[in-house]
Amino acid sequence: MRLLEALILALLPIAATASTHWPYKRYVIPDITSDLHKHGKLEFADSEPPNHFIEWLRAAVQSDQSGTLQQPFRGDKIPRHVKNFEELWDHIQFPEALDNATHRPIFTHPTFPIPPTNQEALSIFADLGYTVDPLCTSDKTKWFYRTVDGSCNWMEVGNTAYGQFGAKRSRDYNQYSYQDGYNKPRDGPNPRAVSNAFFKRKQRLYYEHTPLLLGLIEFIMHDVTYSEDSTTEYIDVPVPPDEDTFPTNTTFRVWRTERVPGTGTSPSNPRENANQASTWLDVSSLYGSSTEVSRALRSFEKGQLLTSQGSFLPFNTMGLPMRTRPGVDLKSLFAGGDPRTNEDRIMLAVHTLLLRDHNRMCDLLAKQHPEYDDERIYQTVRLAMAAKFALIANSYQMAYWQTTGTDAMPWPRDDGFPLYRQMYGENALEINPAHLYPWPLVTKGGKPMVASAEMAVVYRFHEFIIPSFPLKDAKNNTMQEKSTFESALDSKGFIAAGLENILRGIVATDIPNFKSGVDESFRSAGKYRGSPFDIVTWSIVHEREQGLPTFNEYFRAYNSYDPAVVIPIRERFEDFSSDPEMVAHLKRLYTHPDEVDLVVGCQLEETNFPGTTVPSSALIISLFSLFGLGNSDRFSVGYSIMRCILVDKPWDCTPSNALDELFWDPKPTEHFPRARWLNTFWLNELDFQAHGTNLLWRLITENSGVDCLQKNPLFPYDPETNPILCSLPSASPNVPELILTAIEVILTLYKKHQGSFITFLVGLITLIGWIIYQFRTHPSGLPPALYGWPILGVALQFKSDPSGLLLKGMRKWRNVFGLKLANQIQYVVTSPADMQAIVDDSQYEVKFSLHEFLRSINSDLITGKTNFETDLHTRLMRNNLLDSEKLAGFAETAGNACNLFLSRQPLLEANEKEKHYDDLIDYLNRYITFVMSRCIVGPDSFDDEGLLKTFLKFNDDAINAMGLASLLPSPLRFIAGLSIQKDYKAIERVLVPAVGRRRSQQSSDVNFLNFILPVIDKDKDAADMLAIVVFGGLTNLQATMHSTFLDIINQPGLQDRILNSLGGAATRNLSSNRSSPWASLRSAAFESLRLSGPVTGPAREIMEDVPLPSDPSRHLPKGQAIALTAYYLHRQPSVWGADPDKYRWDRFIKEDPPIGSDRFVSWGLETPHMCPGRWFALQSIQIMVKALLEKYEFSQDRELSDSEKYRYSSGSVLRNPVGVKVLRRS
């Protein structure tokens, strides 16, 4: 007990370090190639990051003239020494008693299904200033959580569809500029001619931003607006006579936007366009805006969203309507909440990060609240994700601020409201986050601001599009340059490129500035969705066909509201631009300034909005509108954070939604049962202490293998203003300090218990050893690894759950990582380049040795040292089992052995018609052993009962010996071979006499002993060789034959289908011919072989330090192992399509799998060491399964899902048992 006490007390500082939630310590390094351990310095060496939210609240309370903000705090102020939320709680001024006039009754939290709760809602929403619609309040799911389609966000009677999926898209000033007043597109010059004149890229002006800014623009716009194309109406745009890119007969066909049914019939009923996305910043691009899409993307387990292997977006096996182009199968694309999810890799990177962050936050919430069910976790985290994204959008809009010079954005710049202060000419005392919902400043005519038709067209910033960006490794080396356009709609290519490589490339690149023009790869694309494409022509056509106002028309309406920032009306063409060439184009194309298109006027704008780097007219339609719709949202993060200060008070607060509930923790007392206070954990999770400015850095580092990048990823790296910050929590503990603390604790205990000196000494030595092991400096330049415990590493976890351990590493690092398995680290590689290095070295094995790896896992104990060194058993199999004529002879032997076994050991006795078995695994093992023994040993003694049992025991003992290899030091390795030596002796007792008899006989029987006798003179050595070859057969067949047979009977109707296809099949015509009657069974066997691959393997020992081909900045160290993973590689959507983990028996009907390639590694890579018995194994499986199916019909107790079939252990794959009823076939 005292030893335990000493260890626990000594470990307290470690536990405290490990449990720290954000803000955690980050390290600053000089540049991305610097060694963190040599050059890293703490970002805040002597203090914690400042809490800007507390500082803002302190200032707001101090300047509050109404007294509303001051009321909750003692002395109507927040003292200077208060630095965090816990300290602030101590300064709440509780009243003597609750005010009964304002106190609400206590309501219970909903359970699912939720009963009507109209009374509760009416109490909470009594002060909104409008009548609440009963459609929203009668069901708590509609007001306590976001609805899927965005309805009931605005709950006013008759207007609950504001911002809803499918509702008509609003117009900023209710302007309809159709040529006929209600339907016909507004007239104007040729859109392609306009594109050529004003949008062609003439020069690339540098903009100090990274393409991540572009990705966020895309995601935001896809989040709030989407239009379906009409299927019947289109506008053809011929290229102009002076076209210099496309042939003169080229025509762009632009489909009109689908109208709201019934509109566009008269001037009093103009054409309206439906918004096929909810208009709120609710991350619907990830979650979907319809029930069908939303449910298809959910796992319905612990609130999480579906993922594919590697925590990527799920593949579209559910058939959601994703945008594609001819030749790209919908099911090969990722599924997302928005049809445009797959349109480029930058946006896909944002999607992937948000998906992973949702699932990560679900894990956090589930651990805090184990009583929450799936629905409650999902709905709460969905709100939290939208809140987090709104804060990210704050960082996004700050990226446009001018921060130097006389035009710099005034302070405060990071509270989310400087744009509105500029717009209305107010200061921070007048416009700040402290306001009630609904906020009059973001309503128009008493209605909330939502994404408008004008915003949907103008807020695209197409000039930011880059033609390509690099893939970067961890040392910032460019791996390859990838075309942005050509890499679109290629989910498999996205996975192959690697999220980390894409992210590093994104943040290491810059984008063009406004006035640069649009890149030709998007302005003059040869094919997009099957036809020529110009992104600018599309924008202009859509502006006109939707009847949007021209530039002057729009800003006349805008100026009529008397804003502080006025946009001058262009009376002359010269007012649009100071560039004579642009003015000449305007005069050539338009007849009057009032005709100039909205997007053209914004493109030519030369004055930036005050305090920003964005042209004024474009900003007003885009960012100003974005800010307005964000603050019109009832679930806005700003309203939630002020809920229990402005609406209610901390001592009596009722959450109006699940986000309020997340932010405001219950702190009930006897007199104040509804007291709540800010939840530090979730405020830190959403980075409130920094107004969300760290969230993009965290989004990347917490959800990918990228640990180091610039502080603000929206801007390029700068050593002074935007340094590289690294997240390395595991390296943060101060080892000497921890050891000294441990010593101090143990010495204190020693003084009290001097008689227990030995106990304390052991505790001290154990502790110091563990700390040094756990927190040692990781060798520079090596791939990351899962190290686990001292000595054992992760060997125990690998033995019990190897697939879980593998996926943990894949989620964290993906392409390569290590598993510390006691004496050796196995580096698992999945990159084709890394696997090719094994192939290239295979002839001489200078870098990677199979032989030495086999020695390390005790193969020499299994096969015997002499045989192991000569590799005779492998050469015998390679020389004989790859010969097609000899293989054909084995087919007849195997077939006869199957029939003999089934007659001797029937599943049904003669008088039985059916029988139930708890499982068939043991029976199948006996079946396989019997057939292998007959094929290898020959007709003499092969069926000796003791021999067959020993073969099975030898197989088990050999596998156990391999498992012990990494756990035993070299002097003790002989222990693993003791049971094997006993097995050899038992086998020899039966087979040595049989071998002797066989030498004196002549026989035409085909068996493997025929090949052994000419090369091995001693009968004992020949008997041992037979044991080794049988072991090889059993090891390969136990997983694959089990799976082939059990997969077939698991799928209803398949055994009859396979059996019917075998009509005319015989051992004499067993072949790989596609027309062969064996083709269906062969395909099924290959599919089972694909899915039953081991978690790690094949493997090699690393013979010298080898630079990693996929990342030359890292190397594989000598003495460790490199391993493939059939389990992971065989489930890659990039290779196997949208259903890689699903059993499809007919997958290989048309062609065999790519055996020996980096896509199919069950038998190894295409090297001289590829499995020599592969075709013998495949042939035997087919023969054994056919014999079983012909004799019996099988009916499982239940159909197993693909995830239920397998049980993995280190080095082996077993099938989970399932009950089976056996019936005799007539």
Q: Annotated binding residues for heme b, as ranges?
A: 462
Q: Distance between CA atoms of 226 and 457, rounded to whole angstroms?
A: 11
For 953, other C-beta atoms within 10 Å of its C-beta total 16
The neighbouring-strand residues paired with 452 are: 170
With beta carbons less than 8 A apart as the criterion, state whether 902 and 1188 touch. Answer: yes
Contacts 24+ apart (CB under 8 A), 733-739: 733/13, 733/14, 733/17, 733/775, 735/771, 735/772, 735/775, 737/13, 738/13, 738/14, 738/771, 738/775, 739/767, 739/768, 739/771
Find the radius of gyration of the CA atoms of the chain: 36
Interhelix angle for 757-774 vs 2-18, to 10°?
30
HEC assignment per residue over 962-1015: HHHCCCCCHHHCHHHHHHHHHHHHHHHHHHHHHHHHHHCCCCCCCCCHHHHCCC
The values of phi and psi at residue 1173, to 5°, are: -100, 20
Q: Distance between CA atoms of 1153 and 1086, rounded to whole angstroms?
A: 7
For 421, other C-beta atoms within 10 Å of its C-beta total 21
The single residue listed with the structure tokens 């000595």 is 791
HEC assignment per residue over 13-45: HHHHHHCCCCCCCCEEECCCCCCHHHHCEECCC
Q: ∠ CA 1159-1163-1167 to the nearest 5 degrees?
A: 85
Half-sphere exposure of 268 (CA within 13 A, CB side): 0
Q: Distance between CA atoms of 362 and 385, rounded to whole angstroms?
A: 10
Q: Containing H/E element for 1180? A: helix 1174-1191
Task: Tell me which residue of 345, 230, 355, 333 sits closest to 285, measured CA to CA.
Answer: 355
Q: Containing H/E element for 726? A: strand 724-726
Longest Cα separation, the chain:
113
What DSSP assignment string belongs to 213-249? HHHHHHHHHHHH---PEEEEEEEEEEPPTT-SSS-TT
State how far Cα 706 lies from the chain centre: 14
Cis-peptide, bond into residue 50, ω within 30° of zero? no
Task: Tell me which residue of 994, 1018, 873 sits closest to 939, measured CA to CA.
Answer: 994
Show the tokens assigned to 704. Answer: 């990918």
SS3 1121: strand
For 276, other C-beta atoms within 10 Å of its C-beta total 19
Half-sphere exposure of 342 (CA within 13 A, CB side): 31
Show the tokens assigned to 392. Answer: 């990210």
For the annotated binding site, the residues are: 462
**417 CB contacts (<8 Å, ≥6 apart)?**
428, 431, 432, 433
Show the tokens assigned to 946. Answer: 């003791």
CB-based burial of residue 319 (10 Å sphere; 0-12 exposed, 13-18 middle, 19+ buried)? Answer: exposed
With beta carbons less than 8 A apart as the criterion, state whether 780 and 35 touch. Answer: yes
HEC assignment per residue over 796-818: HHHHHCHHHHHHHHHHHCCCEEE
Which amino acid is residue 58, in one-letter code? R
With beta carbons less than 8 A apart as the criterion, state whether 705 and 810 touch. Answer: no
